[in-house]
Amino acid sequence: MTDAAPSLERLKVRIFADGADLPGLLEMAARPYVSGFTTNPTLMRKAGVADYRAFAREALRAVSDRPISFEVFADEPVEMERQAREIASWGANVFVKVPVTTTRGQSCAALVRRLAQDGLQLNVTALLTLEQVREVSQALGDGAPAFVSVFAGRVADTGRDPVPHMAEALRIMAPFPRQQLIWASPRELLNVFQADAIGCHVITVTNDVLKKLPLVGKDLGAYSLETVRMFFDDGQAAGYRL
């Protein structure tokens, strides 16, 4: 058996950079294989973003030619809708992230339907179940272009295989060609190739995973030797004695 080397050049899945660190975003914007960007309030808080609008303005100055998603942070449908409409006004390449439910578990499908029918480009986020995919896909219908973000990484965290799960999500969404499935919260670079193999449209990848892309196709023998040398060098540097 041979260790077949994967290739970035053959990938059909689109890679979106996921993060809210502005220098990191600018770095990723310069990479030709990054075709879009996503953010969320958790990533923004972690990056120390204090002014939502100011951050968005800076991000949009750097990214005007590719999709970028900004998320509402309210929990009441009326305020979520107000925020969604403001965010949508920031640019033609903006997609508004709306969570699948409120924090009380109340479905946001009615809000999603209303916004989609009004032509807002949406990225419905935090989906995990296939029932949620069905409800959201029906709510989006044939409206404006939209993304459906299924958190495959969190599915995997529960011990479930995300590959058949995501393949079924694609099947559910197939009647609506303006909807695209996002493989969200990947845990490792392998997920990019798994997403590609099933025909997933997009995968969101954080900067730390994106930085592993140069490893794609690396000779495994050479990588093994590098690992052996790393252990040896660290043992020497630590001055261990037996």
Q: How far apart are CA 50 and CA 97, in angstroms?
A: 19
Residue tagged active-site, from 12, 46, 97, 218: 97
Question: Which residues lie closer than 8 Å to 95 by C-beta, 6 or more apart?
Answer: 67, 68, 69, 70, 121, 122, 123, 146, 147
- 46 catalytic, yes or no? no
Which amino acid, 219?
D
Query: CB of 97 within 8 A of CB of 71?
Result: yes
Torsion of Cα atoms, 179 then 57 then 14 then 115, to 10°: -10
Which amino acid, 210?
L
Active site residues: 97
